[in-house]
Structure formats: structure tokens, C-alpha cells
């Protein structure tokens, strides 16, 4: 067994060795593509495939410059409105020259979009942000890569995720803010609203939980089984490593992004092998659109961040092993989390019928936990044909799920009545 820092150091060294090869592969591919009659295409495709496999995948940009509102283009500018060492709260501020359109934008509901902290960057929600920004004032939790956070900033646990959401909600004004949590943050988002309700504070106007493991005991998936088949000490011993020298977070114990990516791929290796095989064929046959779509997807999919070991291990233990939220045993900052105390926040739960990461019923379990919310203010949606990623990106998200989320938010926004502005 390698020492706790050696595996990370070896990986970092390997990435440095491979960078020149990736650069050479790109040059070779470009030269071969210029061969007459397409004779160089197979070899060029091979070099390009090699480059795609070994290249670095840095943190992507959201790249959302504008959206269309009422048939008119509206400029988008990213603004950091709050930050800690662990998270930036990014507003996708919309700007219109038309005074009437600008007034309409100012009156749109405010949305706090809680991005997952489970391997990928917040840019994984690019499609979600783009859709929401057409009808909402959107704020996104953009979580830090733990290897970039110095040890002097302390540690980050699951409680800290909850406390960050509470802080951001208070700053935005909870009564006019709608929380949308995708995947992993469904648990801390529900906890944040519940804690504010228990304290007698104003709570969010609505809470939409999408594909999150509220109760992993229901229809457990491979992800749930992996978390329960081994004791917590196994995860700490085998998956936690120290950040090597050369990064601001040197010495920090983390669950490294490259190990998380290996775990993602191992869940469905045939699908990924087929995707890269098809990419080679697309390059050979000159199907540039299909090849570009592959590149966009894997530039995002392969870009991963490190998680602080405390946060990772607490998530495994509390969410996936002890099911503490569902069982009513979870304490945040010493206080029990009581979803039943929520009264004034409407709750929508969204599941994908084909989700193989969060099992059927795991997210809808929040409906029973939030029994203090009137039944008329609780709604569940199961999207037929949608897998895990399909509930927040792609055609099904845009054409069927998002319209339902938008309608739910408007139905429970103080400035709207029955889906229409009052």
C-alpha cells in the first residue's frame, strides 16, 4: 500500500510527463488532417483520441454570455456576490437595454441553485443555469477545489455546506428566494431550510430537490451499496490522500478528483469505451459536429475537483451509511435537523425514472419528512425516460422538467399569483 501522499504525488508527476505528449499529439493530428484526399484521417483521429485521453481537463467556464427573454437577447454577466475560502456565490446578472424588459427582469423570482460538491465543478449545471436564467435571477454555489484551499483556512465538513447555504439564504432574503438543489445538495439544502424554520426565521419561498439521496434505504443503487458494503475506515484508508507540494492546499487530506473520476467511469466502463470508439470513427468520417459534442461532454465530465476529507467521510457516514436525515438523528452544529418544522416553504421533488445513481423514491422521501408543509404546497414529479443527468440537462430537462419547475416557482412566489404576475 502506498503512503497517503505517494499516490497523489505519482499522479501529479504522471500528468506533468504527459503534457508534452498531449501537445505533440495535437500537432500530429493537425498535420495529418491536411493530407490530400483524407488519407491521413485515420492516423489523425488516432492522435486526437490519444490527446483527448491524456490531456489535462482544467476547471471549465460557464460560458453563458446571453439568454433569450421574450424573444430578445439579454446579456449575462457573472458577479461574485459573496465568497468564503470554500465557495463563491455567483450571480448570473442579466442586463437589458429596453426599460420595459429590464423592469420585467428585476421582478423575476430569485433562485439559489445549489451545485453538487461530489466531484465535478458547478459548471456541470451549465444547462440548468441557462434555462433558469431566462425566467429567474440566478445565484449558484461555486464550490472550491480543496487542493486550492490552504490549510490555514481550516477544514470543511458537511455541516459547513449547510451553514454556507443558510448564510447565502439570509443574504439573499429567504422569503423571495427559491432554492433548487441538484443531486448531492438535496440533503444539506433540506437541512438548511429546516434549521431556519426550527429557529423561527423566514424560510425560502420554495425548495426544489432533484435526484438527491434524501433516504438511500429506498431502492438502493450501486452507489448506495458501495457506501454500505464497507466500513467507514476502509474509505478513509483507501480513498483519502494528502495534497502534494505545488498546490496551495499542500498537506490537506482530500478525496482526490482523479480517484472520483475513476469511480465514475468504473460504474459504466462499456459506455465510456463506446463513446471514445465512436469519437474515433466520427473523426475518421469527418463528422465534426458529433466529435465536437463528445469533446464538450468529456471536457466537462473529466474536469474534477478534490473534496476535503472531512466533508467526504461525513457524507459517506451520515448520508449513505446512517441515513441520518431520514431517520431523524442528524445534528448540525449541535442541533437536530427537523424537516417537519418547515411550514412556509413549498416543496417540489423531482426524480428520473431511469436514474441509476439515486434510486426511485429516495428524493420523493422528502415529501413525508416535510409533513408540516400543507399538501397543496407539496408536489412530486417523476420524469419518464430521464436518467440522473437528464433531470437537469439535455432535452428532457429543457422541454418537460424545467417548465414544471418554472411553474412551481411562480405558483409559490410572492410576486406571482397562480403562475401570473400579480
How confident is the model at residue 419, as a pLDDT? Answer: 45
- % the chain with pLDDT above 90: 68
Considering the chain, what percentage of its residues have pLDDT values greater than 70?
97
Per-residue pLDDT band for 191 (boundaries 50, 70, 90) equals: very high
Q: How many domains does the structure of the chain reveal?
A: 1
Residue 271 lies in a domain: no
The DSSP result for 35-85, as a single string, is SGGGTTHHHHHHHHHHHHHHS--PPPP----EEEETTEEEEEEEEEEEEET
Lowest mean pLDDT among 14-23, 83-92, 297-306: 14-23
**What pLDDT sits at residue 78?**
97
Neighbours of 66 (CB within 10 A): 15
Domain extent, residue 321, equals 66-226+307-416
Residue 295 vs residue 403, higher pLDDT:
403
Residue 128 forms part of a structural domain: yes
CATH number of the domain bearing residue 222: 3.40.50.1820
Nearest alpha carbon to residue 309 among 121, 151, 142, 122: 151
Give 11's pLDDT tier (boundaries 50, 70, 90): confident
261, with CB counted inside 10 A (0-12, 13-18, 19+), is middle
Q: What is the mean pLDDT of the segment spanning 39-45?
A: 83
Residue-wise pLDDT for 138-177, tens only, equals: 999 999 999 999 999 999 999 999 999 999 999 999 999 9
Alpha carbon distance 299, 26 (integer Å): 16
**Does 420 score more than 50 pLDDT?**
no
Mean pLDDT of 58-77: 92
Note whether residue 274 is domain-resident.
no
- Domain annotation covers residue 79: yes
In a domain, 407, yes or no: yes
Residue 31 has pLDDT above 90, yes or no: no
**Grid coordinates given for 178:** 427559491
C-alpha cell at 76: 449575462
Q: What average pLDDT score do residues 219-234 get?
A: 92
Q: Which of 1-15, 140-154, 269-283, 380-394 has the lowest mean pLDDT?
A: 1-15
Per-residue confidence band for 32, with pLDDT thresholds at 50, 70 and 90: confident
Q: Would you place residue 44 in the very low, low, confident or very high pLDDT band (cuts 50, 70, 90)?
A: confident
Q: Kindly state whether residue 350 falls inside one of the protein's structural domains.
A: yes
pLDDT at 4 over 70: no
Residue 391 within a domain: yes
pLDDT in tens, 266-288: 878 888 889 889 988 888 888 98
Return the HEC string of the chain: CCCCCHHHHHHHHHHHHHHHHHHHHHHHHHHHHCCHHHCCHHHHHHHHHHHHHHCCCCCCCCCCCEEEECCEEEEEEEEEEEEECCEEEEEEEEECCCHHHHHHHHHCCEEEEECCCCCECHHHHHHHHHHHHCCCEEEEEEECCHHHCCHHHCCCCHHHHHHHHHHHHHHHCHHHEEEEEECCCHHHHHHHHHHHHHCCCCCCCEEEEECCCCCCCCCCCHHHHHHHCCCHHHHHHHHCEECCCCCCCCCCEEECHHHHHHHHHHCCHHHHHHHHHHHHHHHHCCCHHHHHHHHHHHHHHCCECCEEHHHHHHHHHHHHHCCHHHHCCCEECCEECCHHHCCCCEEEEEEECCCCCCCCCCCCHHHHHCCCCCHHHEEEEEECCCCCHHHCCCHHHHHHHHHHHHHHHHHCCCCEECCEEC
Mean pLDDT score of the chain: 91
Does 421 score more than 50 pLDDT? Answer: no
- Whether 55 is covered by a domain: the verdict is no
- CA-CA distance, 367 to 83, in Å (whole number)? 32
- pLDDT exceeds 80 at position 133: yes
The distance between the two most distant Cα atoms of the chain, rounded to a whole number of Å, is 73
What number is the average pLDDT over the span 194-223? 96
Amino acid at each position: 500500500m502506498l503512503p497517503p501522499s505517494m499516490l497523489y504525488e505519482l499522479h501529479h508527476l504522471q500528468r506533468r510527463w504527459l503534457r508534452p505528449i498531449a501537445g505533440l499529439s495535437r500537432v500530429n493530428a493537425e498535420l495529418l488532417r491536411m493530407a490530400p484526399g483524407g488519407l491521413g484521417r485515420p492516423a489523425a483521429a488516432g492522435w486526437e483520441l490519444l490527446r483527448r485521453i491524456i490531456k489535462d481537463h482544467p476547471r471549465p467556464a460557464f460560458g453563458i454570455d446571453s439568454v433569450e427573454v421574450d424573444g430578445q437577447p439579454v446579456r449575462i454577466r457573472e458577479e461574485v456576490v459573496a465568497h468564503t475560502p470554500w465557495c463563491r456565490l455567483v450571480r448570473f446578472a442579466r442586463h437589458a437595454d429596453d426599460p420595459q424588459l429590464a423592469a420585467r427582469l428585476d421582478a423575476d423570482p430569485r433562485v439559489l441553485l445549489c451545485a453538487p460538491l461530489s466531484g465535478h465543478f458547478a459548471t456541470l449545471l451549465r444547462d440548468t443555469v441557462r434555462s433558469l436564467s431566462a425566467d429567474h435571477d440566478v445565484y449558484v454555489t461555486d464550490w472550491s477545489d480543496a487542493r486550492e484551499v490552504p490549510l490555514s483556512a481550516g477544514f470543511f465538513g458537511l455541516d459547513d455546506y449547510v451553514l454556507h447555504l443558510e448564510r447565502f439564504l439570509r443574504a439573499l432574503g429567504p422569503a423571495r428566494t427559491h432554492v433548487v438543489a441538484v443531486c448531492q445538495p438535496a440533503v444539506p439544502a433540506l437541512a438548511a431550510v429546516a434549521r431556519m424554520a426550527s429557529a423561527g426565521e423566514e424560510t425560502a419561498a420554495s425548495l426544489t430537490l432533484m435526484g438527491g439521496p434524501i433516504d438511500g434505504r429506498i431502492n438502493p443503487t450501486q452507489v448506495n451499496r458501495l457506501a454500505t458494503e464497507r466500513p467507514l475506515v476502509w474509505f478513509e484508508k483507501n480513498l483519502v490522500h494528502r495534497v502534494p507540494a505545488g498546490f496551495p492546499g499542500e498537506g490537506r487530506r482530500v478525496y482526490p478528483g482523479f480517484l472520483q473520476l475513476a469511480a465514475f467511469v468504473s460504474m459504466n466502463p462499456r459506455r465510456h469505451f463506446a463513446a471514445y470508439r465512436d469519437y474515433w470513427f466520427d473523426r475518421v468520417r469527418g463528422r465534426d459536429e458529433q466529435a465536437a459534442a463528445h469533446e464538450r461532454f468529456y471536457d466537462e465530465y473529466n474536469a474534477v475537483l478534490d473534496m476535503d476529507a472531512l466533508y467526504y467521510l461525513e457524507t459517506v457516514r451520515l448520508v449513505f451509511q446512517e441515513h441520518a436525515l431520514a431517520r431523524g438523528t442528524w445534528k448540525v452544529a449541535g442541533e437536530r435537523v427537523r424537516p417537519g418544522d418547515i411550514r412556509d416553504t413549498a416543496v417540489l421533488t423531482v426524480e428520473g425514472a431511469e436514474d441509476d445513481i439515486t434510486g426511485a423514491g429516495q428524493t420523493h422521501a422528502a415529501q413525508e419528512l416535510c409533513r408540516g408543509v400543507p399538501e397543496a404546497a407539496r408536489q412530486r414529479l417523476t420524469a419518464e425516460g430521464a436518467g440522473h443527468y437528464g433531470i437537469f440537462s439535455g432535452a428532457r430537462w429543457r422541454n418537460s422538467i424545467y417548465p414544471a419547475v418554472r411553474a412551481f416557482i411562480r405558483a409559490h412566489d410572492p410576486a406571482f399569483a397562480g403562475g401570473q404576475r400579480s
